[in-house]
Every structure is written in C-alpha cells, then in structure tokens.
Amino acid sequence: MEHNTRTSSSTTRALSLALALGSSVHMAAGLIPSSSSSSSAAASRKVSMRPRTRALQATSKAALDMKYKVAVVGGGPAGACAAEIFAQEPNIETVMFERKMDNCKPCGGAIPLCMVDEFKLPSDIIDRKVRKMKMISPTNREVDIGQTLEPDEYIGMCRREVMDAYLRDRAVGYGATPVNGLVTDVVLPSGGNDKYLIKYSNYAGDKRTGTPEEMEFDLVVGADGANSRVAKAIGAGEYNFAIAFQERIKIDDDKMAFYEDLAEMYVGDDVSPDFYGWVFPKYDHVGVGTGTVINRPGIKEYQKAIRERAGAKIEGGKIIKVEAHPIPEHMRPRRVVGRAALVGDAAGYVTKCSGEGIYFAAKSGRMAAEAIVKLMADGSRLPTEKEIKQTYIRDYDRAYGPTYTVLDILQKVFYTNNGAREAFVEMCESEYVQRVTFNSYLYKKVQGNNPIEDAKLLLSTISSLVRGNAMAQPDKEFSNPVESLKRI
C-alpha cells in the first residue's frame, strides 16, 4: 500500500485524534416530534423532558405579525439545537418541521463527554457509559483500549429516539412551534426580502395521509438529513454517501453484562471494504451494524459478517429492529444560499474514518442559529448570504475543517485494505495513542504536544503498516460501476 510518510508532529497528533474517533463513534442525521409525542420513545426508561421554559411577554397581534419567521426543517440534533436558539429570541417566530416523531435513526449513538456538559444533557438519556473498547482486526487480533480514561470519563451511548426527543421538547419548551409534517417543496424568493414558501403535508393527529398545507418564512434552516429537500431546493449540490445498516438485538442478561460498559469495533473487508462494523451497548439491547460507501449493494452481506464475527457474544439474540439510512461522505458544495443555511447531515457534517455526526450536527445547528440571531440585531433586519457565510460557515470551518481533512486522509490510509486495518489495530495498543486520542475525542480539542512521542508514533505507524501487509489476506474484489456513481 502506497502512502505519504512525510508527516509533521501536528499531523501525527491529528492522526492520533482520528484513531480515537475511529474507535469510538458512529453515524448521524436528525428528526423531530411534537411536544407531547416524544415521551413514547423513552421506552422502558423514564426520561425527564421538562426543560426550563421562558415566559413570553404578551404582545398584540400586530406586533407578532412584525416578527421575522424562521423555518427549521428537520428535528434531529441539528434542527432541535438550532430551533432552541431561535426560540429564545423574542423577535423571531420559530417553526420546526418533522415527519417522524419517534424515528430511530440507524446510529451507533455515541456522544463525547464534552457534549453532555456543553448541551446540558441530563444523565437520564445516556443508556450506557462506555469506558472500555475492544478493537478486533481482520485476523481477529483483539486490542483493549480505555485504560487511560479517568474514573469520571466515558463515552455516552444513547438511543437516538430518546436523545432527539429530549432536544426537540426542550426547543418547544423555549417557544418553538412543532409541526408534524413532511416538507415536500421549498419555493425560493423571487428577490430582495421576499419570503420562502414551504409546502408540506401535515400529519398532525396521527393521520395516515397528510393534509397539503403551506407557510411563508423569512429564513430557512435545512436540518433534514442526507436526502435534504432544502438542499435540493437551493441547489446546494450533490455528495457521495454511505449506507449505514444496524440491527437492534436483544440478548440475554448474561451476555448483556459483557457489554455493560464495553463497545466493540471490528475491521476487515468481510464487515466493510471501507469502514468498520460495531457492537454498541444500548439500554437493554445492543446495536450491531456496519456501513459502506464503495459497495453499497453488499451491505446485507457485510451485516451478516458482523453478526458472525460477534459470534457467541450475541448468539441467540432476537432482532427487535432493523434500520438503514444514507450518511453523507463530505460537505455539500454550497451550504448557504440566500437566506437558507444547511446544518448537520444536510450540510455533510459527518467525519470520515469514525463516522461521527451527532456532536457536529448539534454544534452546527447551534452555531448557525447563533450567528443568524446576532446578524438579525434583535429581529430588526434580515442577514445576507454573504454575512451568514462570513460568520457561521467561516467559524465552523475554522473550528472543525482540519479534523475533517485529517480523518479523510486517514480513512484512505487505514481502511483501504486488510494490511492497513491490521496496522490500525496494532497502533491502538500504544498508551500514548490511547491517551491523546481519547482526550481529543472526549473534549474535541487536539491533545498532546510531545515531539519525541510523536516521532515514535510515526515510526511505529510505518512498522505496523509493513507488518500488517505481510500478514493480512488480500481483500476480496467486487464491482458495482453503476451504483458507485450515484449521488444524493
């Protein structure tokens, strides 16, 4: 395998960050419920969903009509966190659209520790606190990682239907209006400060057939996932995508005890030719899944393989839910057009190598809303496309652009053949790698600045790649020339 071995110490540390991310999280996009329906998603665990509410001053209808109106399309972490910010601005009227109020996205559900504090998430929504991870190579070599974590450090494992519902309800508590509806079209303004016309099917009241309705808005935030209608309407451009497939499997208590605070990650061309397979613990079951970009037609074959690799640890389990969803592979060519901005999966904010999307979805939704609210100056004006790009897009790319770039490179290095995958697992035995990468992942800040250890890491990476290629079986060949050209 050919690769560029010229690496600065900062790039090496970034490589370390990617390794931890690759070990710890998985895929993401978002959805939204009404203020009352989301409680059913909490399943057998009761979740407190009563955020602080904000008293709104009584105003005349004339004053309300003068408010600028924002549509947030989509109610996952990106949409809910954006709606929460808009809803707290008294001069902005906020409406959230979501078709599936109890949607369970096929997602590993891992969140970094910093997200718990930053987004004030209650402990109720965290099913498991993972403090150990087991990485399994193509030859079934196992490496245990996590010994560098402090007693109060962990990776949170959530069910998306629970976490998303909490975030949506919190936004509603602040004043956002939820609409149980499927957005079918976004008609762009003809010019100036003309309004956006959103056409949607209203499913309020558990209707099987939606009632066609429409509403006008001054601004639109597209948080409607990989198949974003907002992105298509504004001509945001296409991107390549992965298919994520996950089965929720109920296993007996003895087997579940094994996964009490443990997650597993499997690599090998049998489970994915360009990603990894996972077994992540949930509340009373495990999520078992995989994903791929380059061979999407083979996803069920890869899912079968991950079940086989997990073997006796999940044997006899009952599949209680099957989930599949597209996941973006890179950012959209255009993320802001006019007064419409994309966030979360709609914008393409999922990292390579790790497939992490939850934190970046929530963060992008919050950053976009905060930038727009500030530009609107207490609801006195509408922001321009240029202004939104020079704030939200500039700030987001400065903060996280390097992470996306490095993880893209590392996926191409470590996920392209079984030799590189063997090397990937071997490198994770290093205590230095574990400490730097876990700290970087948990707190979203690159840790470590030890030139000597960085140099050692570079040399060990080269050695691991050589050994891995010497011992690994060659990858199986496949061909899908038509499917591989599809974009969304």
Neighbours of 392 (CB within 10 A): 24
Condensed to tens digits (0 to 9), the pLDDT of residues 330-367 reads 999 999 999 999 999 999 999 988 889 999 999 999 99
Per-residue pLDDT, 450: 81
Determine the average pLDDT of the residues in 439-447: 78
Determine the average pLDDT of the residues in 202-213: 89
Per-residue pLDDT, 354: 84
* Paired tokens of 414: 């470590």
138 within domain boundaries: no
Question: Is residue 39 over pLDDT 90?
Answer: no
Nearest-5° Cα angle at 366, 365 to 372 = 90
Per-residue pLDDT, 208: 82
Pairing type for strands 318-328 and 177-187 reads unpaired
* Paired tokens of 256: 């579940």
Phi and psi of 320, rounded to 5°?
A: -105, -15
More confident residue, 438 or 138: 138
Q: Around 25, how many Cα atoms within 13 Å sit in the side-chain half-sphere?
A: 33
Question: Is residue 71 over pLDDT 80?
Answer: yes
Please give the single-letter amino acid code of residue 413: V
209 within domain boundaries: yes
Question: Is residue 245 over pLDDT 60?
Answer: yes
Q: At what angle do helices 451-471 and 418-427 cross, to 10 degrees?
A: 140
Q: How many domains does the chain have?
A: 1
Pairing type for strands 262-266 and 277-281 reads antiparallel
Map tokens 């990894």 to a residue.
276
Question: Is residue 452 over pLDDT 80?
Answer: yes
Provide the pLDDT confidence category of residue 14 given band limits of 50, 70 and 90: very low
Sign of CA dihedral 278, 280, 79, 443: negative
- CB neighbour list of residue 44: distance below 8 Å, 6 or more residues apart: 283, 284
Q: Which domain holds residue 81?
A: 37-104+162-238+330-402
Alpha carbon 408 to its chain centroid, in Å, reads: 16
357 within domain boundaries: yes
What is d(CA 387, CA 391) in angstroms, rounded to the nearest whole number? 6
Question: Is residue 457 over pLDDT 90?
Answer: no
Phi and psi of 48, rounded to 5°?
A: -75, 125
251 within domain boundaries: no
Determine the average pLDDT of the residues in 169-177: 97
Per-residue pLDDT, 388: 98
Determine the average pLDDT of the residues in 287-298: 95
Determine the average pLDDT of the residues in 65-88: 94
Determine the average pLDDT of the residues in 231-248: 95
pLDDT over 90 percentage in the chain:
68
Provide the pLDDT confidence category of residue 446 given band limits of 50, 70 and 90: low
Provide the pLDDT confidence category of residue 28 given band limits of 50, 70 and 90: very low
Q: CA dist 169 to 39, 117, 217, 226, 387, Å?
A: 9, 18, 22, 23, 30
More confident residue, 50 or 202: 202
Question: Is residue 32 over pLDDT 50?
Answer: no
- Classify residue 464 as exposed, middle or buried by CB count within 10 Å of its CB (0-12, 13-18, 19+): buried
Question: Is residue 12 over pLDDT 80?
Answer: no
Map tokens 């049998």 to a residue.
270
Question: Is residue 425 over pLDDT 80?
Answer: yes
The whole-model pTM stands at 0.85
| Residues 217 and 69: beta-carbon distance below 8 Å | yes
312 within domain boundaries: no
Q: CA dist 207 to 40, 210, 343, Å?
A: 17, 6, 29
371 within domain boundaries: yes
95 within domain boundaries: yes
- The mean pLDDT value of the chain amounts to 86
Per-residue pLDDT, 16: 44
Question: Is residue 89 over pLDDT 50?
Answer: yes
Provide the pLDDT confidence category of residue 447 given band limits of 50, 70 and 90: low
Sign of CA dihedral 38, 40, 41, 46: positive
372 within domain boundaries: yes
What is d(CA 184, CA 377) in angstroms, rounded to the nearest whole number? 31
Per-residue pLDDT, 345: 96
CATH classification at residue 210: 3.50.50.60
Nearest-5° Cα angle at 49, 44 to 50 = 145
Provide the pLDDT confidence category of residue 288 given band limits of 50, 70 and 90: very high
Per-residue pLDDT, 65: 55
Condensed to tens digits (0 to 9), the pLDDT of residues 112-129 reads 999 999 999 999 999 999
Question: Is residue 246 over pLDDT 50?
Answer: yes
